[in-house]
Structure 1
Amino acid sequence: MNESDQMKKHRFKMPSAFTILFGLTVFIAILTWFIPAGTYSTTPDGTLISGTYRTVASHTQGLWDVLMAPIIGMIGNKQTTGAIEISIFILVIGGFLGVVNQTGALDDGIRAIVHRYTGHEKRLIIILMILFSVGGSTYGMGEETMAFFPLLIPIMMGVGYDSLVAVGIILLSTRVGDLASTVNPFATGVASGIIKISPGVGLFSRVILLVIVTAMAIWFVIHYAEKVKKDPTKSLVYSQRQEDMKRFSVADRTSAPKPLTKNQKHVLWVFCLTFVIMIVGLVPWTSINKSWNFFDRFNSWITGNAFLGTILGKDIVSLGNWYFNEITLLFLLMSIVIMFVSHMKEGQFINAFMNGMADLLNVAIIVAVARGIQAIMNSGMITGTILHLGETSLSGLPKPVFAILAFVFFCVLSVLIPSSSGLAAATMGIMGSLAVFSHVEGSVVVSAFQASSGLITAITPTSAILMGALALSHVSLTTWWKWTAKLIVSLFVVTCGFLAIVSVM
C-alpha cells in the first residue's frame, strides 16, 4: 500500500446526519445529570410565561430514554409534540416529485430552455439562475439538479466560459434560493411548524431578500463568465480546460432535445399551479388586512351550500388558513391530477410515488430523530433551565442583535447538521422560545435559520449537494472556496442587515 492509499484510508469521513443527531441526543441525556431541572408556567395554549421559571426535582435521562427519544420525536408525548405531520408531508411531497420526474417534464423543460437560448448565454444565465433560485426557494431544489451539470457544462465551455460558470449557475442559484426560502417545505415549513406559526408569516420580506440575493449571485456569475471569455487564463480551472473539453465532449455540444409533448406541457402547468396554490393557501391574508377575507367568504359559501357542502365536505379549510395537513392533501391530490394529465398507468403512478417517497424517507426520519433531542431535553426538564439562561442573557439585547446572533448560531450548527429539516427539528424549539423572551417575531428566527442553511450548504464539505456537484464537475473544493469567498461574505453581510431590519419592523 503506497502513501497515497494510506492517506485515503485514514482520511477523516464526516459522520451522517443520523449519527450526529443521535450523538447530540446522548450528549443532552448526559447533561440532564449535571444541569438543574426547571420549568416555566404556561398559558392555556402552551406559551411560556416570561419570569415564571422555577427549579424542580432532577429528571435524569438514561439509556432507555435515549433509545426512546426518536420514537417520541415522531409520535410525541405530553411534553413534546411529535413530528408525524411534518414527516408525512415530506414523504408526500417526495411522492409528488417522483410522479413529476416520471413524466420527464421537468428535465425536458429545462433542456428545452437551454437549447432555445444557445447563442444568448448571458440571457440564459439570468433565466436559468432565476428558475433554479425559485426552485430552491419554493421546494428546496438541490439534489434534483445533479442531472443538469453534465448538460450545462459543455454549453458554457463551448461559448468560451468554463465549468465553474455552469456549476455556479446551478449550485449558487439553488443555495441563494434556499437562503431566502419563501415556502420551502423542508426549511420554512418544518421550522414554522415547530414554533407553531404559519409558513406564510414573513413571506413578503423573504421575497424581497430572494430578489436581492438572486441578483447578487447572477451578477457574480456573469462578471466572472465575461472575464473568462475575454481572457481564458483568468479561469480558476484553466489548467484542466483541455481535459474538461474532452471529458465533457464540448466539441460535440449537446444535441437538440425533443420538443415537449402536449402531456409534458400540461404536467408543467399543474406543477407550477401546485406551488401557486400552496403559496396562496399559506399566506395569512386576513392577518395582513382584515378586509382580505375573500377566501373565507368563498369557503363559507361552499360549505354552506347543501349540495356542494355534502359532496365536498363541511370541514374544508379556506385558503389563507392552511397548515401541514392541507398542503399535504394538496400535493397528494395534484399527484393524482398529474397521473391523469400525463395518461400514466396506475402501476407506474404507484411505483413513481412510492419511489419518490423513498428518496425522502431519510429526511422524514431525520426530523423525528432530531425532534428526539427536544424530547430528551423536555423529559429531563432542562429545557426550562436553558431557556432561563437565554432569557437572562439575551432578553436585554436589542432585537437586531438577537436576530444576528441567532443567524450566527444557526450557521455554526449547519456545518454539523447540513440537513435543513434536521437542523430545524433540533434547534427551532428552543430558539423560538428565546425569541419570545426577546420579543422577536418567530418569522425572524425562521428567516435566520433558513438563511444559515442555504449559505452554509454552499460551502461546507458535509453538504451532499455541494460535494456531489463538485464531483460531477471535477472542480476541487478549495477552488470552489477561492471562487465563492467574496460572494459568501457579501451574502452573510446582506443577510445580517436584512435580519436587523425585519426584527424591528
Structure 2
Amino acid sequence: MSEGEEMNGLNKKKWEMPDTYVILFIVLIAAAIATYIVPAGAFEREEVNGIERVVSGTYEVTEQNPVGVMDIFLALQTGMVESAGLIFLVLFAGGMFEVIEKSGAIKGGIMSAVDRMRGREFMLIAVISILFALGGATGAVANSVIPFVAIGVMLARALKLDAIVAVAITFGATFIGFSAGFLNPYTVGVAHSIAELPLFSGMLLRVIAFVLLVGVTIWYTWAYAKRFLKNPDKSLMGILEENDEEAEVDVPFTTRHKLILSWVGLALAFFVFAVIQFKWTTDHMAAFFVVIGLVSGIIAGMNYNKLTLTFLEGCKNLVYGALIIGVARAVLVVMEQGNILDTLVSALAAPLGALTPILSAIGMFIANSIFNFFVPSGSGQAAIIMPVQTPLADMIGVTRQVSVQAFQFGDGFSNSIYPTSGPLMASLAVAGVPWIKWAKWLLPLFVIWSVIAAGILAVGVLINWGPL
C-alpha cells in the first residue's frame, strides 16, 4: 500500500455518536445563541403550600438579555455549584454500592439463589429477575449490571437457554426496575429535588408500576424461554454451548454477606421511614449513603485503608454521570440568565394545553423517550428536562408527581433499546448478542411497557397524584 493510500485510509475515519458531554455542550451553545433570537419573557409566580408555582396566563415579554461568550463558561461553574447536592448524592451512592459489591455480598446472594433453584427454570428466572429489578429500583444496580451479565450467561448455559435470556434476566430486569424507580436516587431523587416534591413521595403508585412492569417482563421472558426449551429452533441466538475453559464460579454466601445485605435492606427501609417521618432530603440521603457504606465495609472486614479506597473507587466510577448533572444545569443557567426559559415553557404549553391532561402526560412520556436518544443519562436528563417540565405541568393541569414519572418512564424504557445507551451495548457485548436481535426480541415487550406506562400516567392524572 502506498503512502497516499495509507493517508486516505486514516482520513476515512468511521463516524461515531458524539459523547453525551459533547451533545450537552452543543445544547449549551445553542441555548446561548437562542438568547439573541428567542424573545425574553416571564410568568408571574405564586407560592402554594411552600412551593413556588407558575401562574398560568401571566406570561409577558420582557427586555432581551443575551449572554456573552464568557457567560457560557461561567454557567458551567454555576451549574456545578447549584447542582452540588445532587452531584455528591450520585458520587456517594457510587461509593456505597462499590463497598457492597466488593464485599461479594451481591454476587454471593445471586449465586446462592441460583444453587437453590436448580431444576426449577421458571422460579429461577423469576427470582433472578426480581433481584435485579429491585437493584434497579433502588439504584443499587444500574450501569454496574454489566459484569453481572456474565452470571446471566452462565445461568442460561446451565438451563440450556440462549444469550438473549441471559441479558433479559440481568440487564433487562435491572432497567425495568430502574424505570419504576420507587427508591432510585439517580432519577426520581434528582427529579423530586428539582420539582420541589418530598423525596421519594408517591411511592405507592410507583411500587404498583414496579409490580406490573416486572411481572410482565418475567412472563414475556419465560414465554420465550419455554418456547425455546420445547423447540430450540425458536431461539433467535441458539443454545449457549458448554465452555470447558469457563469453570463454574463457586461464590460462597457467607454469614458476613447475609449481615451486609440485611443491614443495607434495614437501612434503606429506615431511610424511607425517615423521609416520611422526619422529612429527610437528598442531602440526608447522601450523608446516609456514607453511613451505609461505612458499616457495610466494617461488616465485610475491610480495614480503614481498603474501605476508604473502595469507597473512593466507587465515587470515581460515577464521576462521569455525576458531573453531567452540573453541565445540564448550565444549560438552564444560560436560559434563565437570558430570560428565555419561561418563553420555552409558554411555547410548549400551547400544544400540550390543547390536549386533555391524560394525553398531555402521555405526550411528556413520548417527548422524554425521544430526548433520551441524545442524552442517555438519567440524572443528566432530569437536570435538563425537569426545570422545564415542572412549570409546564403546573400550567396544563398535570401534577408534578405525574410529570416526574413521565420523565422516569421515558428515560428508563428507552435505555433498554436505544443503541446510544452505553450500558445496553456493553451488556450485549458481554453476552455476544447483536443489537438487531435484541431489539427484535424486545420490541413487543417495549410496546407492552409503554401501554402500562400510559395507564399508570392516566391513573395518576385521574387521582390527582400528589406528594403522597
TM-score bracket, shorter-length normalisation: over 0.9
1:35 to 35, 38, 42: 38
Partner residue of 1:65? 71
Residue in 2 that maps onto 1:278: 271
What does residue 269 of structure 1 align with?
262
2:206 equivalent in structure 1: 206
Deviation at 1:176, TM superposition (A): 1.1
Is 2:55 the partner of 1:49? yes
CA distance, structure 2, for counterparts of residue 378 and residue 357 of structure 1: 30
1:410 partner amino acid: N
**Are the equivalent residues in 2 in contact too, given 1:160–1:232 (CA < 8 A)?**
no
Q: Which moved more, 1:136-145 or 1:474-483?
A: 136-145
Contact 2:83 2:329 in 1 (8 A): yes
Deviations 1:301-347 (A, max 9, x none): xxxxxxxxxxxxxxxxx2xx111111112111122222332232110
In structure 2, the residue matched to 1:245 is 241
* 1:26 and 2:29 correspond: yes
The correspondence of residues 55-94 of structure 1 with structure 2, limited to 5 A, is: 55-75=61-81, 82-94=82-94
Counterpart pick for 1:356 among 309, 314, 320: 314
Q: SS at the partner of 2:93?
A: helix
SS of alignment partner, residue 57 of structure 2: coil
Q: CA deviation at 1:450?
A: 0.8
Question: CA deviation digits over 1:343-383, x for unaligned, max 9?
Answer: 32110111011111111111110000001111111001001
Matched, 1:217 2:175: no
Q: Which residues in structure 2 correspond to 1:161-176 (within 5 Å)?
A: 161-176=161-176
Match of 1:414 in 2: 372
In structure 2, C-alpha distance between the alignment counterparts of 1:350 and 1:157, rounded to whole Å: 37
| CA shift digits 1:402-431 (9 cap, x unpaired) | 100000100000111110001000111010
Change (3 A) 1:386 1:106: same
Aligned partner of 1:11 in structure 2 is 14
Indicate conservation of the 8 Å contact 1:395/1:438, yes or no. yes
Amino acid at match of 1:25: L
- 1:461 equivalent to 2:419? Answer yes
Is the 2:149–2:171 contact (alpha carbons within 8 Å) kept by the matching residues of 1? Answer: no
Secondary structure of 2:46 counterpart = coil
Say which of 443, 451, 456 aligns to 2:401.
443
The DSSP-based 3-state class of the residue aligned with 2:373 is: helix
Q: Are residues 130 and 12 of structure 1, via their aligned partners in 2, closer, same or farther at CA, if it must alter by over 3 Å? A: same
SS at match of 1:196: coil
Unmatched tracts of structure 1, length 5 or more: 76-81, 285-294, 296-317
**Is the 1:154–1:253 contact (alpha carbons within 8 Å) kept by the matching residues of 2?**
no
Say if 1:140 and 1:187, in contact at 8 Å, map to a contact too. no
Distance in 1, matches of 2:451 and 2:62, equals 42
Which amino acid in the other structure matches residue 268 of structure 1? L
DSSP 3-state at the match of 2:197? coil
Partner of 2:466: none
What's the CA shift for 1:7? 12
Q: Identity of aligned pairs, percent?
A: 29
Aligned-residue offset at 1:48: 2.4
Give 1:51 deviation, angstroms: 2.2
* TM-score w.r.t. length of structure 1: 0.86
1:133-153 deviations in Å (ceiling 9; x for gaps): 111111162222222222232
From 452, 476, 485, the counterpart of 2:443: 485
1:158 matched to which residue of 2? 158
Aligned residues: 456
Distance in 2 (alpha carbons) for counterparts of 1:389 and 1:144: 39
